[in-house]
Amino acid sequence: MSRDLPRHLLALSLIAATTGLHATEPAQPAHHPLRPISECLRPDRINEWYLVDSRTAIARTGPDRYQIKLEHDCPRLGIGVPGLLFHASEANRLVGESRICGEVGETVSARNQPPCAIAEVSKIDKATFEALEKQALRSGNGAEPKNPPPPRR
C-alpha cells in the first residue's frame, strides 16, 4: 500500500465536500430588467403600494401598475413608517436616475430594516393588480420619502 494513500483520500474528501457545498447553494436569480427604461417604476410617483407576500409587492404610479419580485423572503417589509423605500442601483444613481427596473443592485427596504434585493420588476394590467391587491398583507398610500426625517423625541 502506498504511503500517499491517506493524503489522496483526504484530498478526495475535501473535493467531494467542496463540490457538495456548491451543489446545494441556491442559484442567484437571473435579472431581466424592464425595458425601455422609460417604462420602469418611478418611486417618486407611487400612489399606492401593497405587499402581497414576503417576496412580492405591487405599486401603482398613476395609470401604470407594477409587480416587484424580491430575491429572498423579506417578512418585515412594509412595517412602520415609511413602509417601502426603493433604492436604485449604483449605476442609475450615478446618472441621476431613480427608476427601478429590476437591475442588479436595486433594493427595497423599510426604515431601520435591512434592504431586500429586487429580482424583477414587471408591468401588470389593472385586473391583475386588483386581484393581487385583495391578497395583500400590508399597504400604503403615496411615495414614501427617500430620506425620512428623524422621529421626534
Q: Write out pLDDT tens, residues 10-25.
A: 555 545 555 454 445 5
Q: Write out pLDDT tens, residues 33-86.
A: 999 988 999 999 999 999 999 999 999 999 999 999 999 999 888 887 778 999
pTM: 0.73
Residue where the block lists cell 434585493? 117
Domain coordinates of the chain in residue numbers? Answer: 37-141
DSSP 54-122: TTEEEEEETTEEEEEEESS--TTTT-SSS--EEE--HHHHHTT---B-S-TT-EEE-TTS--EEEEEEE
Give the number of other CB atoms < 10 A from CB of residue 74: 23
